[in-house]
Structure formats: C-alpha cells, structure tokens
Amino acid sequence: MLRKIIKIDEEKCNGCGACAEACHEGAIEMINGKAKLTREDYCDGLGDCLPACPTDAISFELREAPAYNEEAVRMSKIKKQGIKLPCGCPGTQSKAISRGGDSYGAVAPVTSRLSQWPVQIKLVPINASYFDGANLLIAADCTAYAYGNFHNEFIRNRITLIGCPKLDEGDYTEKLTSIISNNDIKSLTIVRMEVPCCGGIESAAKRALRESGKFIPWRVVTVTTDGRIIE
C-alpha cells in the first residue's frame, strides 16, 4: 500500500541510537553502528523518532510499504517486557496485592491535580478553552487506581481524558481526532494498563493522531496491575 513512512539517511546518521530509543514501536534497530528501519510494518508513520535525531538524518517519504501491523507491535512489546498472558483477558483475573506495612491513616492527604471537568472521553466537549496549548493526557480509567502517584506524575499540568475501551460502547477515534484536529494540542501522553483489552485506548489515540495530520510529541506509558510503570 502507498503510505507515509520514515526514511533514514545513513550518511547523516552518527549512530547515537536516539531514534531507536524514541521509536515506541520497535521499528528501528542499530546495525553496524547505523540506524536501520528493520520492520516497515512496525512503523506507524507518526515520526516520534524525527525530533530525537540530532543530525536530521530522518525524514518522511510517501512510498509503497506494508500496512502498519498494530497487533504485531503489541505482541512484540509484550514479549520484550516478559509479560505472560494466560488464556482469557488478564484484566479479569483475581489476585491479591500485598503492600507490606501500609495501614489506614498512614499516608498524608494528596491534593488533586485535575484542572478541568468533565474527564470522560464520551462527555468532554470537542472545543473548550482549556484545550488551547494543552498537554493532553488520554488514560484508561483503571490507571489512576493502579498507580499511586498518578495525579502528580500524569494529571498535573495536563488536560485529562479517561475511558475504558472494554466497557464503553463504540470507538474513541472519531472524538479524539476531532479534539486534536480542532485545538492547539502541544503534546500527547497515553497511559494504559498492561492487560491486552486496554490496548484499545492506545490504538484509538494513535489513530486519532494519524488522522488529525498533526505532528505532536507523544508517548505511551503502561501501568502493571500491581502499580509499576513500564515505558
């Protein structure tokens, strides 16, 4: 298919590896001291590697290339992270999480960092004054419960949109595309749980960014069910 994909100029490449580290999908590898696009089907065409390159060795080109394989990328990430997926959705499995010596009343109150309302993707307006120059957070709703410092690390200084792709009806892509397209969004942070069903919110946010046609810095953060960060 004809689509936008990255192009690496090996003569300009200095072998620093910054692009490979910045590529969320794992499409770029360092081979013999040079950056190589080793998996065209892993390249989503968003170009998060471009600003990471100090020598401007990476650019976009429109050419024939395999379609972006989102499922293959997801499984590759799971394999690299060593997450073992049992039969069925891990998000429905019961387990107890030990917190050692935690006790009621032992933790000081935390100030909310939420700066707008509503927060549900289904309810938030497409246009609002708080979107002007906003750093946008799109998060699966369980992440704020799983990760203890969520307000300070993710909600603070961001406009927050939440949803649950497993329980909500429909797809978020159209709504998120409208928000990104019609507002001056400065950056996008996507926070999801490690469970496979949570990939829907990551997929919707990435599709929305692609369909908006905008080049915006973005990143994906994954939270484990026991409250750890995988990035």
State residue 93's pLDDT score: 56
Q: What average pLDDT score do residues 163-185 get? A: 92
Longest dimension (CA), the chain: 60
Residues 31/38, Cβ–Cβ less than 8 Å: yes
State residue 85's pLDDT score: 46
State residue 86's pLDDT score: 45
Q: What average pLDDT score do residues 200-216 get? A: 92
State residue 87's pLDDT score: 44
The yes-or-no verdict on residue 231 having pLDDT over 90 is no
pLDDT in tens, 158-167: 999 999 988 8
Task: Say what the alpha-carbon torsion angle 113, 117, 121, 123 is, to the nearest 10 degrees.
Answer: 170
The one-letter code for the residue type at 36 is: K
Phi, psi of 137 (to 5 degrees): -110, 120
pLDDT in tens, 130-172: 999 999 999 999 999 999 999 999 999 999 999 998 888 888 9
State residue 148's pLDDT score: 93
pLDDT in tens, 92-127: 555 555 555 555 555 667 789 999 999 999 999 999
State residue 172's pLDDT score: 92
pLDDT in tens, 37-78: 999 999 988 888 988 898 999 999 999 999 999 888 888 877
State residue 70's pLDDT score: 86
Whole-model pTM above 0.75? no
Residues 137/160, Cβ–Cβ less than 8 Å: yes
| HSE-CB for 14 with a 13 A CA cutoff | 7
State residue 102's pLDDT score: 54
